[in-house]
Structure 1
């Protein structure tokens, strides 16, 4: 074989061919030798049933023969002295070990690997929508919704975070906030959509304003994608009345109405009205100091 000449009666030359590369090796008769064959796979760990390995040799008489095959999860070899680590095959290593080398082992060895062609994996980034600003009335709850559309594959994770000072804390773990994420819907174009909501009570909003983050994790992202909304507390207006009706049609009993206008929990304006039997009386009011 070209490039594989014996150096002495005790040494033999072995050539290893893989793809377009050939290596020459010399080994002492009676010793062990490993012929390396590493290959690339589209997945880190292969299934045995999806892999075919073939080692063949061309001897010094130009005769070609197959010395080892691995197919359908089973190994076949023409010599007990030939070894391929089957666990190594799952890690893309098909190296062949020759044990107790003899003169009959001389020749050019070729490693051939067949793996199934896998279709390319398609990743489509989600489109994440969330309002930049929102308000909640003091003493009430507000639900914010994060819409996530047009992503593929289906697997996706949504996390809500609340800014607490300089730190971000996980939402939905206290009685002041609840999180609900719907199951993904399969769209007509093959993509998926979902939505996630967070419900907060105004008491969860410190200092009148907080930052809330909708964090999305998907295979198409190298790192989690974040969208934020600023939630502000606004006061609610309410009217409180005290009414004392006339006791009877006899005078001089009066009717008296006292009203207070509230903004949130803070009184904003007060007013009182009284009437006597002669339909005379007065109205008074004042703006309260907030």
Structure 2
């Protein structure tokens, strides 16, 4: 009796097992997508691929006409989400210029998004959504866009007079994000460097493309022994693996001084002027009617006037010479700094 019951139950058990084995795989598979867990850091204007892949899904290759893919972007510190790309019914629709996915990659479960020439404002959170009816899966990933400094504007050498207060300027251009550190160093013995503290606060300005510029000033009052000294402008920014730096060399010149000959001429003219004034002022009132004394007074008066004119002309020449020297060194310096 027991054997007979066993024979009746056994076909039922075997039939159940066969039905389980022949059940469609889609019933047991769950749709899952995977994206980068770490923030993806990319360079400004680079071509970028944001990964989004199906995993633990065994029905590959896929019938792509039955797949729907959507990509969304949300900027940093923003609650609004914007659709970037959509694939549906075998058609790609880009809401951001150049956005696309690989059709051959999608057949193998790769829905990664391609974005050419990434811009600074495109950093933030990206969401990938994949639909294989009736299943739906999604994941998010973060993207950060950086721009390395494009240049450091610092002259190779600058000319300055000794003991004159002088401002050295270093301009760092085209970086993002905004935080930046600029350090001034003085090179000692050609190998060692010493950080210089007498620099002003950094001035930050923005460009039309969203990048920033920074300007730092170093105040100097060099002596003749500082001639040939090398100063370095060192830039520290998160986009740089190592600090960026540029160097300049000081050319210190002596102060422009009046020569001894010019001083002697000035003293002689001053004495002649004083004597001529004395003769004119004190002698002439008592010498009326005396032609010789009157002639001497007139001669003294003419000498005094001539000496005054020469003195004024010499002073004018000195002022003009000083302006020329200042303009020469000043324009040369500004030209080098620019």
TM-score bracket, normalised by the shorter chain, equals: 0.3 to 0.5
Structure with the higher fraction of residues in strand conformation: 1
Q: TM-score, normalised by structure 2?
A: 0.37
User: Which structure has the bigger radius of gyration?
Assistant: 2
